[in-house]
Structure 1
């Protein structure tokens, strides 16, 4: 019975830690860049686009496709950085916990 109570306490602690982690991630902002910094996209921890900056030198009629590609690349760069930051924070939070290999967190 003592082990069950200990497990329940650990589960409650883990739930509180995940809640804190989710709140921390939600307030994060990450920027991605493309074209050597000519395009910058900023995403929130909820993957919402918060800002888009485009260097004025890219505003040419015949370069619309290039601009579109750079915006997509900057967005994908920001998303990859946010994913990496979320994984790192989850790894830090779960350090030392007996979690089966391959299990992805948060649930």
Structure 2
């Protein structure tokens, strides 16, 4: 189709690849909104769930930790679980984007979206 167009054919090919890449990135970002990861602390006494994009969607606290004298401990466990979930979300997001870049033949470590 682009034969005989020289550099214009190459440019059209690159534009098509860029559009494909943009579509793939959009698909992955939509999937990341639906994927859930769970972080925990206190050997599972506190669990935080968030999307792979890092949006907190749930918190599960074992009732055994509700002791008024240990309020600060509970707060620390909650924060630790949330941070763990967000860390896992970031890692999941990174892994999913790396799959896209490798499928498109882009060099490792290329951050998408640009």
What's the TM-score, normalizing by structure 2? Answer: 0.86
Equivalent residue number for residue 98 of structure 1: 106
- RMSD of aligned alpha carbons: 1.4
**2:40–2:81 Cα contact (<8 Å) kept:** yes
- In the TM superposition, structure 1's runs of 4+ consecutive aligned residues that sit over 4 Å from their partners are none
Equivalent residue number for residue 65 of structure 2: 58
Which structure's CA Rg is the greater one?
2
1:47 positional shift: 2.2
**2:38–2:50 Cα contact (<8 Å) kept:** yes
Structure 2's unaligned 5+ residue stretches are: 1-7
1:69 to 55, 58, 76: 76
1:102 positional shift: 5.3
The CA distance in 2 between the partners of 1:104 and 1:63, in whole Å, is 43
Aligned length: 106
Equivalent residue number for residue 14 of structure 1: 21
Structure 1's unaligned 5+ residue stretches are: none
